[in-house]
Amino acid sequence: MLQSVDTGERSLEAYRGVAPDPILDRLRDLADGLRGLRVLHLNATPYGGGVSELLRSAIPILSDLGLVAEWKVISGDESFFSVTKAIHNGLQGAERSLSEAERATYAATSERNAALLEEVYDVIVVHDPQPAAIPSLHGKGESRWIWRCHIDTASPNPEVWAFLRSYLEGYDGAIFTLRDFLPPDLPIARVEIVPPAIDPLSPKNIDLGEQTARQVLDWIGVDLDRPLVTQVSRFDPWKDPLGVIAAYRLAREEVTGLQLALAGSMALDDPEGWDIYGEIQEASAADPLIHVFTNLTGVGNVEVNAFQRLSEVVVQKSIREGFGLVVSEALWKETPVVAGRAGGIPLQLADGVGGALVDSVEECARAMVALLRDPGRAAELGRSGRERVREHFLLPRLLLDELTLMSDLVAGVPRPAPSSERDPVCGMTLVEPESAPSAGFRGLAYRFCSDHCRARFELAPERYVGRGGPAPSTEGAP
């Protein structure tokens, strides 16, 4: 039997007054028609990184909505997770080939895990490449299988992609974070674009109160009389921690006493983390104003919450990114963000809301300094960022979008149901479509979460109204 992860019990009603009511109501209505649906989420680690973060919050709410929801993790040894990290990096475009031995390791471990999947489900959602081979090795049975890809697979390394692609052919549906991430020849017909979301009620995001947050950071040795910038992310080259240190050093020439915190987690499925950790230690060893923390040395959810709350600026200098949950986490705490223009980050910082997008170490330093020198502007960006997160990036919206796909697959609906309530670019359900930015195309009106999505649509509308795009409204076409 595969290992189950226990996530406890929580109620959707707890989100009333926090997440938008119309989204909660639509979610409840949709879930009413899915009562008793047996749903399994399958991934590679019960802790560390965005996927486990999401599942820990999503599973109890699905159960509260009347579904029979479970979370299980596959298991593997270090050599398996080294191969899956190589696949992960290759899918994000890294130059890397897979040896015969590595392919055999992936296949053998996948086969062992497939044999351990004993229960029967109506829908099985498989997250990322690590467990992706399970349906082809286990057999699809009566289940609908969804591949949920959280990473940027827009320009995958062809050899790595061809290897993984051969395992994806049996899937009934796929979910990607951004339309831009779709690989060129995905062998899955039904595709849904759904950006992730944060849980505003988790210990990481719940309101902490300034005094408590200060005590938490004081306790781990951060001097809150000095200005503080923080990056919270796995120790991963794509998150560019050495670039953050370089940008921080430039910024410190302008802002006396500035300190940097790098909080990074080690995930079970990410053996590369220790090497990067070593590089960061080396780069920061002689610098007492750089603090490096990990989840293995006492920095857990509450500490991350305090860092994201009390930092003057949160940095996320990613070079490649899936979504970057940490951006929404910081914005939810009204902290402005300086972040790399990568993956889902521009969607979160759309329309100049919440902070600044940067493309280099120098720009990153300049944006940090500008915000550190202008607390009024920083506060304004933080407030606008929180509002954008409230409207678009909270858990109930994510569950609504995912359940829409599950409901269609179970009912045998081959294409998305007509809806003018979803942004055709980012795929998100809109809270108030009537007042959202709109654009016309071929006499029909489309609605968007931001001017950023509308501008993207206007550049190439045919890209968004074809496969997987929602049907628009015929009313009020501009």
Q: Which residues bind ligand UDP (CB under 6 A)?
A: 49-50, 53, 204, 232-234, 263-265, 295, 299, 304, 322-326, 329
Shortest Cβ distance from residue 303 to ligand UDP (Å)?
A: 8
Shortest Cβ distance from residue 304 to ligand UDP (Å)?
A: 5
The strand pair at 3-4 and 68-73 is best described as antiparallel
Give ∠ CA 414-415-417 in degrees, rounded to 5: 120
The angle, 0 to 180 degrees and rounded to 10, between the axes of the packed helices 100-116 and 78-91 is: 110
Closest of 372, 388, 383 to residue 328, by C-alpha: 388
If the CB atoms of residues 188 and 232 are measured against ligand UDP, the closer one turns out to be 232
Shortest Cβ distance from residue 62 to ligand UDP (Å)?
A: 19
If the CB atoms of residues 56 and 456 are measured against ligand UDP, the closer one turns out to be 56
If the CB atoms of residues 128 and 172 are measured against ligand UDP, the closer one turns out to be 128
If the CB atoms of residues 270 and 408 are measured against ligand UDP, the closer one turns out to be 270
If the CB atoms of residues 234 and 249 are measured against ligand UDP, the closer one turns out to be 234
The angle, 0 to 180 degrees and rounded to 10, between the axes of the packed helices 301-310 and 210-219 is: 110
Residues forming beta bridges with residue 429, ordered by sequence position = 422
Give ∠ CA 219-224-230 in degrees, rounded to 5: 90
Alpha helices in 352-394 (DSSP H): 361-373, 375-392
**DSSP string covering 83-135:** HHHHHHHHHTT------HHHHHHHHHHHHHHHHH--S--SEEEEESSTTTTHH
If the CB atoms of residues 339 and 369 are measured against ligand UDP, the closer one turns out to be 339
Shortest Cβ distance from residue 260 to ligand UDP (Å)?
A: 14
If the CB atoms of residues 136 and 301 are measured against ligand UDP, the closer one turns out to be 301
If the CB atoms of residues 251 and 292 are measured against ligand UDP, the closer one turns out to be 292
Distance CA 468, CA 181 (A): 14
Task: Find the helix or strand (DSSP H, E) in which 72 lies.
Answer: strand 68-73
Closest of 356, 388, 163 to residue 251, by C-alpha: 356
Shortest Cβ distance from residue 314 to ligand UDP (Å)?
A: 10
| Cβ atoms 110, 134 nearer than 8 A | yes
Distance CA 199, CA 451 (A): 25
Shortest Cβ distance from residue 121 to ligand UDP (Å)?
A: 24
If the CB atoms of residues 50 and 469 are measured against ligand UDP, the closer one turns out to be 50
Q: Please identify the residue of the shown chain whose CB is closest to the bound ligand UDP.
A: 50
Shortest Cβ distance from residue 446 to ligand UDP (Å)?
A: 28
Shortest Cβ distance from residue 292 to ligand UDP (Å)?
A: 10
Shortest Cβ distance from residue 256 to ligand UDP (Å)?
A: 27
Shortest Cβ distance from residue 328 to ligand UDP (Å)?
A: 9
If the CB atoms of residues 241 and 433 are measured against ligand UDP, the closer one turns out to be 241
Taking each continuous run of H as one helix and of E as one strand, the counts in the chain are: 17, 15
At 434, is the secondary structure helix, strand, or coil? helix
Phi, psi torsion values for 415, nearest 5 degrees? -125, 160
If the CB atoms of residues 322 and 336 are measured against ligand UDP, the closer one turns out to be 322
At 24, is the secondary structure helix, strand, or coil? helix
Shortest Cβ distance from residue 370 to ligand UDP (Å)?
A: 24
| Cβ atoms 446, 478 nearer than 8 A | no
Which residues lie closer than 8 Å to 57 by C-beta, 6 or more apart?
Answer: 10, 199, 201, 202, 395
- Each residue of 435-448: b (16+ CB within 10 Å) or e? ebbbbebeebbbbb
If the CB atoms of residues 55 and 232 are measured against ligand UDP, the closer one turns out to be 232
Phi, psi torsion values for 284, nearest 5 degrees? -115, 0
Phi, psi torsion values for 316, nearest 5 degrees? -145, 85
Shortest Cβ distance from residue 326 to ligand UDP (Å)?
A: 4
Shortest Cβ distance from residue 368 to ligand UDP (Å)?
A: 19
If the CB atoms of residues 280 and 439 are measured against ligand UDP, the closer one turns out to be 280
Rg (CA), the chain: 22
